Amino acid sequence: MTTSSRPTPIPSSVPINLLLLLTQILPYPSQAHSRWKCPPPRSSSTGIKTGPCGSETNDFGLSPDDDGDQPVTEIYPGPLRVIFEESIHHTGAPFRISLSGDGTDDLDASCVLLDHIPHNDCCRPNLYDESTYTPYVITINIPNVNCERCSLQLANPMTDKIGGDGSPTGIGCTDPLGTCFSVYHSCTRPFRIVGNGEAVARSDYQCEQLPGDWPTAWVGDNGVSVDATVPGLYRRESSSWSEVDFTLTTVPVDYVKDAGGICGDEGLKQQYTQSTSSSSIETTTTATHVSSTSAAATTSIDEAGMAGTINESATSFNETVTTTSLPENSMTSSTLLPFPTISPPPPLLDQNSDPIVGQTTMQSTAFQHCSFYAWIIVCMNIFTSMMYLHL
């Protein structure tokens, strides 16, 4: 007698459905690593693995402000302080900063401004708490070019994933378009570079050699020195960063000093002041709106010959409180609960088109207790039951 072997069928679809549900609702910590902070990034994601800018590659459009304008930030040749941040720690994973072409993110048009920026192994940020992200503050040099739409590109090869190849004696991995199989990317929003009288168009600019005063070795595995002289060839490279101002402590002062600009201390302070001022104006306007709607929501109800006034407070800044004239004896102040976004349903009527007092009271009270998300289903059941009783 021969027997055939068949795969054992899955006894139930519940575990599969549960697994599919979990894969949709649970976050993916391994999908997040680093991004620009200042200048601001095109995408807030720290998990872009398609270079150089993910889905925003070659997107040099500007986001309109509150007035509908599309302002562009202007920067100038010379030293520029920049800030990027890391959301998940990867020991020894270095960084590279490049300048895009004018209106293009094509790698052939990009120029590397600073390579082999060492990792800060001090911290363990929490992906779900942006206040714990590890900041990196460094001053780079912007070439003397004229560029209407340029951007900074950040690359972060994951050399902690390449095993022995990432050791001081290992072969390392290459990027871009090389053997580093896991690299994270981020690009800034477009900005304009305003060169001086000797500036050339960005399209005519020839990329210069990397700075000669940048260190050629960093700290590798077990504290052993690791070579960092070859552009685009990476191993595990770390160094010491300040816990006070988050600058690199092992480089010449030109890479540490505050060069001003939008990411300098004064620039950040100005941005904070403008943001705070805008928030104050918005808060004042909103408070005025709430005050007026609260006053408008004062409703007088005559119940059983006794006059009373009920003051309803608006419970949401952005929701309009509507005042509804309620029939006499329809409800008392003790049964009125705040539900500002939806008006109560009309009362049930008898054969003479007069409200049925008992059922109206129950109906309105039940409506006020309905959950914001479930009120439709609950109230439909209540209305159906009431109609059945009425008939």
pLDDT at 71: 76
Give residue 12's pLDDT.
43
Contact indicator for 73, 39 with CB cutoff of 8 Å: yes
Given CA atoms 295, 300, 306, 310 in this order, what sign does their dihedral have? negative
pLDDT of res. 47: 92
Q: How far is CA 238 from CA 133, 159, 269, 342, in A?
A: 17, 11, 30, 58
Mean pLDDT of the chain: 74
pLDDT attached to residue 259: 87
Q: Record the tokens describing residue 91, joined without a space.
A: 């020991």
Among the ranges given (105-119, 184-198, 318-332), the one the predictor scored with the smallest mean pLDDT? 318-332
Instruction: Give the Cα separation of 220 and 91 in Å (integer).
Output: 10
Peptide bond into 27 cis (omega under 30): no
Q: pLDDT band for 172, please (50, 70, 90 cuts).
A: very high
* Mean pLDDT on 295-316: 37
Annotate 144-183 with b (16+ C-beta within 10 A) or e (fewer).
bbbbebbbbbbbbbbbeebeebbbbebebbebbeeebebb
The pLDDT, as a whole number, for residue 284 is 41
In the chain, alpha helices (H): 14-25, 265-296, 357-368, 375-390
Which of the listed ranges 68-72, 248-252, 310-314, 373-377 does the model predict with the highest average pLDDT?
248-252
As to burial, measured by CB atoms within 10 angstroms (0-12 exposed, 13-18 middle, 19+ buried), residue 135 is middle
pLDDT in tens, 83-134: 999 999 999 999 999 999 999 999 999 999 999 999 999 999 999 999 999 9
- 380 or 322, greater pLDDT: 380
Cα 18 from chain centre: 28
pLDDT at 367 over 50: no
Tell me: pLDDT of 30 over 60.
Answer: no
Give mean pLDDT, residues 182-208: 96
CA distances from 129 to 27, 124, 316 (A): 13, 11, 27
Percent of the residues in the chain that have a pLDDT greater than 70, as a whole number: 58
Whole-model pTM: value is 0.64
Distance CA 270, CA 279 (A): 14
pLDDT confidence of residue 278? 46
Residue 3 pLDDT grade (very low, low, confident, very high; cuts 50, 70, 90): very low
